[in-house]
Structure 1
Amino acid sequence: MATEEQGPTSGLTPHLTIGGGRAAEAIDFYARAFGATERMRMPADDGKRLMHAHLLINGSSLMLNDDFPEYRGGSAEGAPAGLTLHLQVDDADRWFERAKQAGATETMALQDMFWGDRYGQVTDPFGYRWSIAHALNK
């Protein structure tokens, strides 16, 4: 794992495209909902949208940008239906409640699951689904 100063040097990093020119709003939401810290932000030439942003959430990187339909021939379709971003955390109840207080919608209530996690899901205001869990045997 890379240090915070280095950023990611290996592994898999999710990279989200946020529709409607709302990437800056998404950064603010992820800070409130998941304790994200902003590593960097690169504005586009239009001064309104973000070409790139890098956040840290729970020690892992998340990258995001505004949608640029002019570079790909159309507008964003929204969050992919099959995508879930998973957070394995120290206290799922606390993280889940913070996400809801920040504006996430509960889509699966937190429950003690048969596989040994306390687990639930929320959907953020940008259409992305997040699962939040902690191990029950901690």
Structure 2
Amino acid sequence: MASINTYLNFNGNTEEAFNFYKSVFGGEFAVVQRFKDSPGCEGMAVGDQEKIMHIALPIGGNVLMGTDVTDPMPASTFGTGISISVDAATEEEAHQLFSGLSAGGTVTLELQKMFWGALFGMATDKFGIQWMVNHDYGQK
């Protein structure tokens, strides 16, 4: 079966954002590739060559990926059109993830027990990414 992974674009702070996500979720980066290490990028501005071309952080059975946008790519504009949903295995993990992701950001909905039988909360992290943290009490 096909899998779906999330790919995030940042305006020059991908490395900072992904180090933050690594501190919340744990694990190790599967790949960190800078523009300077990629064929065809030799003519880029020196500052852009140090930026992240591709980074991947495995989380559970999925991979969170990202890049820095550079010229001639259009700047990334964050909006309300996307949220990343994380299903925590335990209530404790849900609290830990929610606390980590909301640190320095904005809590939209406090993590709380919901009518559909789950612990659920929403927050926008300090990088403008919207997260939904869920723990289904019926989950085994």
Structure with bigger gyration radius: 2
Is contact 1:33-1:100 (8 Å) kept?
A: no
CA RMSD in angstroms comes to 1.9
Is contact 1:30-1:36 (8 Å) kept?
A: no
Structure 1: gaps (5+ residues) = 2-9
Structure 2: gaps (5+ residues) = 37-45
Q: TM-score with structure 1 length normalisation?
A: 0.80
Q: Which runs of 4+ in 1 moved over 4 A?
A: none
Instruction: Find the counterpart in structure 2 of residue 13 from structure 1.
Output: 5
Equivalent position to 1:54, from 40, 50, 56: 56
Query: Given residue 125 of structure 2, which amino acid in structure 1 is its aligned partner?
Result: D
Is contact 2:4-2:62 (8 Å) kept?
A: no
Aligned equivalents of 2:55, 2:30: Cα separation in 1: 8
Is contact 2:84-2:130 (8 Å) kept?
A: yes
Aligned equivalents of 2:7, 2:63: Cα separation in 1: 9
Query: Given residue 134 of structure 1, which amino acid in structure 2 is its aligned partner?
Result: H
CA deviation after TM superposition for structure 1 residue 122, in Å: 1.5
Aligned equivalents of 2:123, 2:132: Cα separation in 1: 7
Is contact 2:102-2:126 (8 Å) kept?
A: no
CA deviation after TM superposition for structure 1 residue 134, in Å: 0.5
Number of aligned positions between the proteins: 125
CA deviation after TM superposition for structure 1 residue 80, in Å: 3.2
